[in-house]
Amino acid sequence: MKDIVKKRKDIVFYIKLFPLAIHPGSKEKAQEIECTRSLKMLGESLEGKPVPKPSCKAPEIDRNIALGKKLGITGTPTIILPDGEMVVGALPEPALLDRIDQSLKQLKHKK
């Protein structure tokens, strides 16, 4: 995602932390990442580095979990494209850019 936003100023990613119950401790990690609002800590967590215990309550995480369940999201990463299509799983950069561009074209055709 970092490379995409460097190349394409018309693309923005909104990250919603959605810890899965199958990953022990993921909710607490997400809470601390939200408390500190640290992209660096998020990256380090994804690399398997330790994350301190939550330093705040971070109710956003519970809201993210509820929203994810409401939308039927069961795995990460899940990307919701501009036209509302959901892409589950990681995609290589060219494939993701292609899906984003297709989604934008779909939106233009609907107008």
For 4-14, write each residue's pLDDT tens digit: 999 999 999 99
Domain residues of the chain, as ranges?
15-74
Which pLDDT does position 88 carry in this prediction?
A: 94
Alpha carbons 29 and 61: distance in angstroms, whole number? 10
Summarised one tens digit per residue, pLDDT across range 19-55 is 999 999 999 999 999 999 999 999 999 999 999 999 9
Alpha carbons 24 and 47: distance in angstroms, whole number? 16
Which pLDDT does position 111 carry in this prediction?
A: 65
Q: How far is CA 62 from CA 9, 41, 68, in A?
A: 31, 19, 10
β-strands 78-80, 86-88: how paired? antiparallel
At residue 99's C-alpha, the angle toward residues 92 and 69, to 5°, is: 90
Which pLDDT does position 63 carry in this prediction?
A: 97
Query: Residue 98 is encoded by which pair of tokens?
Result: 């292609």
Query: Residue 33 is encoded by which pair of tokens?
Result: 């990442």
Residue 110 has pLDDT above 80, yes or no: no
Classify 76 as helix, strand or coil: coil
Summarised one tens digit per residue, pLDDT across range 73-100 is 999 999 999 999 999 999 999 999 999 9
